[in-house]
């Protein structure tokens, strides 16, 4: 009996009508699409993007070549060589990050005792030829110089939660 009732009910196409009404309702809803290059989604201050090496306000680079970041990096993306500078301080002569190896875990930033290596919130970058995926010390410092304000601001915002 219930079988027959169900059969007759299915002939009214009621279920399909309900489904169609639902999709029709969504047709008129506000769209969620973010029109990317013009609109962007908000980013957390903890966003881990492109790396940068920072300097102190007096222009001295922060990095003291302790190599903690190199040691902690799970992807072995960081390569550091160090030497004694003329003034007797220990500095890096080579500081490279292979962005293809990097998994953007942020451990380098966490491990750094002087807040030198940081991850900025830049995520729109590309490489135009082979080998450009390895960021040199100069490039990293340049990124740091260019975005220092931004970096300082996000670190400040995040500081109270750490």
Partner 1 sequence: MELLEFLIFDNLIYILAIVLGVILTVAYLTYFERKVIAFMHVRMGPNRVGPRGLLQPFADVLKLLTKEIIFPKNANKFLFLIAPIITLATAFAAWAVVPFADGMVLADINAGLVYVLAMTSLGVYGVIIAGWASNSKYALLGALRSAAQIVSYEIAMGFALVGVLVAAGSLNLSEIVRGQEGGLVHWYIWPLLPLFLIYYISGVAETNRAPFDVAEGESEIVAGFHVEYSGAAFALFFLGEYANMIIISALTALMFLGGWYSPFTGDSWIAQPSIFWFLGKTSIFLYAYFWLRASLPRYRYDQIMRLGWKVFIPITIVWIFVVAVMKVYHVGPWWN
Q: Is residue 108 a known part of a binding site?
A: yes
- Asked if 47 interacts with ligand SF4 (CB under 6 A), we say no
Q: Which does 108 bind (CB under 5 to 8 A by kind): partner 1, ligand SF4, none?
A: ligand SF4
Contact between 108 and ligand SF4 per CB under 6 A: yes
Interface region with partner 1, contact rule CB under 8 A, candidates 19-27, 119-127, 128-136, 153-161: 19-27
Give dist(CA 76, CA 70) in Å, integer.
Answer: 7
12 or 129: CB nearest partner 1: 12
- Nearest-approach distance from CB 17 to ligand SF4, in angstroms: 53
Contact with partner 1 (CB under 8 A) among 26, 58, 126, 159: 26
Closest CA to 117 of 50, 59, 54, 56: 54
Range list of H helices, 57-136: 68-72, 107-111
Question: Could you tell me if 121 and 47 are in contact, meaning their C-beta atoms sit under 8 angstroms apart?
Answer: yes
Alpha helix (H) residue ranges in the chain: 2-11, 14-27, 68-72, 107-111, 137-159
Residues 55-84 interacting with ligand SF4 (rule: CB under 6 A)? 63-69, 72-75, 77-78, 80
Question: At closest approach, how far in Å is the CB of 20 from partner 1?
Answer: 5
Q: Is 99 helix (H, G, I), strand (E, B) or coil?
A: coil
Using rule CB under 8 A, residue 31 touches partner 1: yes
Q: Are 136 and 142 in contact (CB under 8 A)?
A: no
Known binding site: residues?
63, 66, 69, 73, 102, 105, 108, 112
């Amino acid at each position: 009996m219930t079988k027959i009732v169900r059969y007759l009910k299915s002939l009214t196409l009621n279920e399909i009508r309900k489904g169609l009404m639902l999709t029709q309702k969504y047709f008129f809803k506000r769209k969620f699409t973010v029109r990317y290059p013009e609109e962007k989604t908000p980013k957390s201050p903890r966003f881990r993007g492109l790396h940068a090496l920072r300097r102190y306000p007096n222009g001295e680079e922060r990095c003291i070549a302790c190599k903690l970041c190199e040691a902690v990096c799970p992807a072995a993306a960081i390569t550091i060589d160090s030497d004694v500078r003329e003034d007797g301080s220990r500095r890096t002569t080579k500081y490279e990050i292979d962005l293809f190896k990097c998994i953007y875990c942020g451990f380098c930033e966490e491990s750094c005792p002087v807040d030198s290596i940081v991850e900025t919130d830049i995520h729109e970058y590309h490489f135009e030829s082979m080998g450009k995926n390895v960021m040199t010390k100069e490039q990293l410092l340049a990124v740091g110089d260019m975005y220092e304000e931004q970096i300082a601001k996000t670190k400040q915002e995040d500081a109270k939660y750490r």
